[in-house]
Amino acid sequence: MAHIDAGKTTTSERILFYTGKTHKIGEVHEGGATMDWMVQEQERGITITSAATTAFWNYKDNTYQINIIDTPGHVDFTVEVERSLRVLDGAVATFCAVGGVEPQSETVWRQADKYNVPRIGYVNKMDRTGADFAGVCAQVHERLGANALPIVLPIGAEDKFTGVIDLVYNRAYVYFDDKTVRDNYHIEEIPENLKAEAAEARAKLIEEVAASDDALMEKFFEDPDAITPEEIIVALRKATINMSVVPMLCGSSFKNKGVQLLLDSIIAYLPSPLDVEAIVGTDPRTGEETKRHPSESDPFCALAFKIATDPFVGRLGFIRVYSGKLDAGSYTFNSRSGKKERISRIYQMHANKQNPIEFVGAGDIAAAVGFKDVRTGDTLCDENHQIVLESMTFPEPVIGLAIEPKTQKDLDKLGVGLGKLAEEDPTFTVKTDEDSGQTVISGMGELHLEIIVDRLKREFGVEINQGAPQVNYKEALTGTYEHREVFKKQTGGRGKFADIIFEIGPASSKEVTGLEFVDVVKGGNVPKEFIPAVQKGFATAMSNGALAGYPIDAMKVTLKDGSFHPVDSDALSFEICARNGFRHAAVKANPVIMEPIMSVEVVTPEENMGDIIGDLNKRRGQISGMETKGNARVVKAKVPLAEMFGYVTVLRTISSGRATSSMEFSHFEAVPGNVSKEIIEKASGKFKNEDE
Ligand SMILES: Nc1nc2c(ncn2[C@@H]2O[C@H](COP(=O)(O)OP(=O)(O)OP(=O)(O)O)[C@@H](O)[C@H]2O)c(=O)[nH]1
């Protein structure tokens, strides 16, 4: 996991080569990386979808299996990072030796914290001008609050970077430049000029690991030199797994240096599935907490973390198995749908290629085929031992795009394509406007939607006409209002009648999502059988806010009183009455339009700083901080998404291409009055706020 371009894919490609998975190293910038198998990834040199691969590595006379997921760095594809961290036992946080801790490094670090994933740090690109291993370790300490502990030292830097000193074994890995050889290094004595520095760093390492182990501490005080590498490894493994330490390594993946030691460290320090505590879930039948141990003798339980469509084998469900065993051709149980599912085949994944296997067991990551109904986040288990594991939370899409097929005959194909893509990606949604018939797709950012449109063209053969990207606003009520709504219709024969008195306003706490509905009607003035219809009326109505038709996330309605007609009243009348009541009352409850605010970070040379800040201010930006990083300046700001379209191009012009920026969603905030007026005027053409 890492910020964009830190070198995750390049490092993964080396791992595949050194572990014998591939016979030749594929390079990202040549479009040849095995892990970046999608056309869009190869063209752009970025990772979009996380690829899973299984590799085997020999370490100290044993062979170990490593399941690797290479995640994207771009924030638009954050869903991939989220679901990967949900199912992985350990992570390699990769940093650029020059860029250090970048905005996305912080984001993925927080995601790993959320899922308690132990990590090791890998400082890549040591061959670049300005590479600074110690500097990056210090940043990890300060900015990420982690106990970053170097377990190697670089030999030389920039174009003189030739290898690393292994502080645990007190020896040097000196690399010779040959990317076609797997053992492209010699193990040597530590170079004379680095001996003192290495001794000091090793003493620090031993002191740190001893701090987490009493027996070792005693030995440390008696005779630190008597502590063996094996003892260091045992203690360091423990400290890494309980997350009190993050071992830091360095290398240059592109120049084929340092990756073998990284593989050794993955085995030595990151947890195996057996080191991980039993996973906790709930039994859907009793609501009670239940546990599964990482053992094949426990009942089967797995989490489906990703759904993908493969052109050859069809729908693949990626699963992480926590306990038990599942055979290809057998049945499993989906605890969300309550249905049995037959798994026809199981595959071990190698990027987009599959290797059929007969079964999966505790600790495995694999792809299964044959599901009728499985969604991201579903738990698969033994029907007689049911469990629901905690699912994943995904951010809401903040940016929308109206699309239509270029030719009307492609309408059906578009529907199929959008359906499949939405199934793969929980941060991508599709909505059809009932009045205009317009289809609006929503995602995490401009790049995300651009890739979706491209995939519709290539994978589903649909050419698209698209509008300009638009912001997904929301509406919120900030005051309360009491209202009486009467719905009456007389059209010969039986009429319609409903009458309600209610108070509408913001939800009572931030935790509430959707409609908080309270019924305090006395004496059956609104008969019990119509109350659900009233509730349904409000719940449906709130998806079209009263100001400009944007959805309201949460609100509270208290139904206080009302009346009915013995013949004319029915459920539908009360539902329509509630919907109309919402229209009339919500506008009086101080509604506001809420807009997504982005956290923006710009890294720039000093001389462009003034212009960049001036420009951000013009975009209604609030500067939240300024820092120095190496010889560059970092400007942090909170800016409305509406003002950030096309920012990359403008920034390039202001800084002659020297500044870079990144942004991610921060929160929703009420828009200022003048902007609100504009949004409402624009929406008024499309949005009808009328009674039914
Ligand atoms: N100089 C140098 N360049 C490197 C090194 N590792 C990777 N690169 C280059 O940096 C660029 C980005 O590398 P990737 O491996 O695609 O980075 P990534 O982190 O996978 O990128 P995303 O998945 O798009 O976030 C490519 O052009 C690589 O060739 C390195 O050790 N040294």
More confident residue, 627 or 261: 261
Taking only the tens place, the pLDDT of each residue in 68-103 is 887 877 777 878 888 888 889 999 999 999 999 988
Best residue among 15, 28, 78, 177 to mutate for probing ligand 1, ranked by most atoms within 8 Å of CB: 28
State yes or no: 674 annotated in a binding site: no
Instruction: With respect to residue 620, please indicate whether it lies within any of the assigned structural domains.
Output: yes
Are residues 662 and 104 in contact, defined by beta-carbon separation less than 8 angstroms? yes
Dihedral, 544, 549, 553, 558 alpha carbons, nearest 10 = -50
Angle of helix 8-18 relative to helix 259-269, nearest 10 degrees? 90
For the record, the structure tokens of 376 come out as 């991201």
Instruction: With respect to residue 209, please indicate whether it lies within any of the assigned structural domains.
Output: yes
Are residues 91 and 117 in contact, defined by beta-carbon separation less than 8 angstroms? yes
How far does the centroid of ligand 1 lie from the alpha carbon of residue 35, in Å?
Answer: 13
Instruction: With respect to residue 643, please indicate whether it lies within any of the assigned structural domains.
Output: yes
**Where does the pLDDT of residue 311 fall: very low under 50, low under 70, confident under 90, or very high at 90 and above?**
low
Locate the ligand 1 atom nearest the alpha carbon of residue 3 and give its number: 25
pLDDT at 30: 65
Using the 3D structure, point to which of 389, 413, 432 is the last residue of a domain. 389
Domain that holds residue 611: 594-675
The verdict on 536 and 569 lying in the same domain is: yes
State yes or no: 33 annotated in a binding site: no
State yes or no: 2 annotated in a binding site: yes
How far does the centroid of ligand 1 lie from the alpha carbon of residue 633, in Å?
Answer: 23
Global pTM? 0.79
Dihedral, 626, 627, 633, 638 alpha carbons, nearest 10 = -40
Residue 549 belongs to domain with CATH number = 3.30.230.10
Instruction: Kindly report the length of the chain.
Output: 692
Best residue among 1, 9, 34 to mutate for probing ligand 1, ranked by most atoms within 8 Å of CB: 9
pLDDT at 435: 63
How far does the centroid of ligand 1 lie from the alpha carbon of residue 8, in Å?
Answer: 7
State yes or no: 544 annotated in a binding site: no
How far does the centroid of ligand 1 lie from the alpha carbon of residue 360, in Å?
Answer: 33
Average pLDDT (233-255) is 94
Average pLDDT (309-328) is 85
Taking only the tens place, the pLDDT of each residue in 596-610 is 999 998 988 888 999
The verdict on 287 and 412 lying in the same domain is: no
Spatial CA neighbour of 684 closest among 552, 556, 593, 563: 593
State yes or no: 334 annotated in a binding site: no
d(CA 578, CA 558): 12
Taking only the tens place, the pLDDT of each residue in 533-560 is 999 999 999 998 989 989 999 999 999 9
Atom 5 in ligand 1: residue holding the nearest Cα:
254
Locate the ligand 1 atom nearest the alpha carbon of residue 255 and give its number: 31
Locate the ligand 1 atom nearest the alpha carbon of residue 10 and give its number: 15
The answer on pLDDT for 464 being more than 80 is yes
Pairing of strands 331-334, 339-342: antiparallel
The answer on pLDDT for 467 being more than 70 is yes
Instruction: With respect to residue 580, please indicate whether it lies within any of the assigned structural domains.
Output: yes
Share of the chain above pLDDT 70, in %: 94
Greatest mean pLDDT range, 213-217, 386-390, 424-428, 527-531: 527-531
Q: Strand, helix or coil at 451?
A: helix
Taking only the tens place, the pLDDT of each residue in 274-310 is 888 889 999 988 888 999 999 989 999 999 988 877 7
For the record, the structure tokens of 690 come out as 């009328």
Locate the ligand 1 atom nearest the alpha carbon of residue 44 and give its number: 24
Locate the ligand 1 atom nearest the alpha carbon of residue 251 and give its number: 31
The verdict on 511 and 580 lying in the same domain is: yes
The answer on pLDDT for 62 being more than 90 is yes
The verdict on 205 and 350 lying in the same domain is: no
Sheet of 163-166: strand order equals: 152-155, 163-166, 171-175, 185-188
Spatial CA neighbour of 47 closest among 3, 112, 87, 86: 3
Taking only the tens place, the pLDDT of each residue in 136-149 is 999 999 989 999 99
Query: Which amino acid does the sequence have at 21?
Result: K
Spatial CA neighbour of 108 closest among 664, 564, 485: 664
The answer on pLDDT for 412 being more than 90 is no
More confident residue, 59 or 373: 59
The verdict on 667 and 521 lying in the same domain is: no
Q: What is the mean pLDDT of the chain?
A: 88
Are residues 476 and 506 in contact, defined by beta-carbon separation less than 8 angstroms? yes
The verdict on 349 and 453 lying in the same domain is: no
How far does the centroid of ligand 1 lie from the alpha carbon of residue 92, in Å?
Answer: 15
Dihedral, 157, 159, 163, 166 alpha carbons, nearest 10 = 10
The verdict on 299 and 357 lying in the same domain is: yes
Average pLDDT (312-326) is 87
The verdict on 265 and 285 lying in the same domain is: no
Of 41-45, 96-100, 227-231, 466-470, the poorest mean pLDDT is in 41-45
Locate the ligand 1 atom nearest the alpha carbon of residue 13 and give its number: 15
How far does the centroid of ligand 1 lie from the alpha carbon of residue 98, in Å?
Answer: 12
Average pLDDT (623-629) is 88
pLDDT at 578: 96
State yes or no: 8 annotated in a binding site: yes
Locate the ligand 1 atom nearest the alpha carbon of residue 6 and give its number: 19
For the record, the structure tokens of 297 come out as 């003798």
How far does the centroid of ligand 1 lie from the alpha carbon of residue 6, in Å?
Answer: 5
Greatest mean pLDDT range, 333-337, 497-501, 623-627: 497-501
Atom 24 in ligand 1: residue holding the nearest Cα:
46
The total domain count for the chain is 5
State yes or no: 127 annotated in a binding site: yes
The answer on pLDDT for 673 being more than 70 is yes
Atom 30 in ligand 1: residue holding the nearest Cα:
125
Instruction: With respect to residue 40, please indicate whether it lies within any of the assigned structural domains.
Output: no
d(CA 625, CA 612): 13
Cα angle 399, 676, 471 (rounded to 5 degrees) comes to 5
Residue 605 belongs to domain with CATH number = 3.30.70.240
Instruction: With respect to residue 368, please indicate whether it lies within any of the assigned structural domains.
Output: yes
pLDDT at 587: 93
Are residues 359 and 325 in contact, defined by beta-carbon separation less than 8 angstroms? yes
The answer on pLDDT for 219 being more than 90 is no
Average pLDDT (165-180) is 88
Ligand 1 is surrounded, with C-beta below 6 A, by: 2, 4-10, 28-29, 45-47, 72-74, 124-125, 127-128, 252-255
Residue 467 belongs to domain with CATH number = 3.30.70.870
Give the HSE-up count for residue 373: Cα atoms under 13 Å, Cβ half-sphere.
8
State yes or no: 667 annotated in a binding site: no
Taking only the tens place, the pLDDT of each residue in 492-531 is 778 899 999 999 999 999 888 899 999 999 988 999 999 9
Atom 21 in ligand 1: residue holding the nearest Cα:
5
How far does the centroid of ligand 1 lie from the alpha carbon of residue 599, in Å?
Answer: 24
How far does the centroid of ligand 1 lie from the alpha carbon of residue 72, in Å?
Answer: 12
pLDDT at 315: 80
Give the HSE-up count for residue 356: Cα atoms under 13 Å, Cβ half-sphere.
9
Greatest mean pLDDT range, 151-155, 156-160, 202-206, 439-443: 151-155
Pairing of strands 185-188, 119-124: unpaired
DSSP H/E element including 354 = strand 353-357
Best residue among 3, 4, 5 to mutate for probing ligand 1, ranked by most atoms within 8 Å of CB: 5
The verdict on 285 and 247 lying in the same domain is: no
The verdict on 411 and 358 lying in the same domain is: no
pLDDT at 36: 66
State yes or no: 71 annotated in a binding site: yes
Average pLDDT (313-339) is 89
Spatial CA neighbour of 556 closest among 442, 479, 469, 669: 479
For the record, the structure tokens of 250 come out as 């360095």
Using the 3D structure, point to which of 251, 269, 287 is the last residue of a domain. 269
Using the 3D structure, point to which of 540, 574, 589 is the last residue of a domain. 589
Pairing of strands 119-124, 246-250: parallel
Q: Predicted ipTM?
A: 0.97
Residue 310 belongs to domain with CATH number = 2.40.30.10
Locate the ligand 1 atom nearest the alpha carbon of residue 257 and give its number: 31
Best residue among 254, 255, 262 to mutate for probing ligand 1, ranked by most atoms within 8 Å of CB: 254
Instruction: With respect to residue 310, please indicate whether it lies within any of the assigned structural domains.
Output: yes
Instruction: With respect to residue 429, please indicate whether it lies within any of the assigned structural domains.
Output: yes
For the record, the structure tokens of 516 come out as 């908080």
Average pLDDT (643-666) is 86
pLDDT at 50: 62
- Contacts (Cβ under 8 Å, ≥6 apart) of 96: 3, 5, 6, 7, 102, 123, 124, 125, 128
The verdict on 127 and 263 lying in the same domain is: yes
The answer on pLDDT for 352 being more than 70 is no
pLDDT at 351: 61
State yes or no: 125 annotated in a binding site: yes
How far does the centroid of ligand 1 lie from the alpha carbon of residue 125, in Å?
Answer: 8
H-assigned helices in 64-213: 78-87, 103-114, 133-144, 195-211
How far does the centroid of ligand 1 lie from the alpha carbon of residue 11, in Å?
Answer: 8
Atom 14 in ligand 1: residue holding the nearest Cα:
7
Locate the ligand 1 atom nearest the alpha carbon of residue 4 and give its number: 25
The verdict on 446 and 384 lying in the same domain is: no
State yes or no: 4 annotated in a binding site: yes
Residue 167 belongs to domain with CATH number = 3.40.50.300
Q: What DSSP designation does 588 have?
A: T
Are residues 164 and 251 in contact, defined by beta-carbon separation less than 8 angstroms? yes
For residue 639, list its beta bridge partners. 598
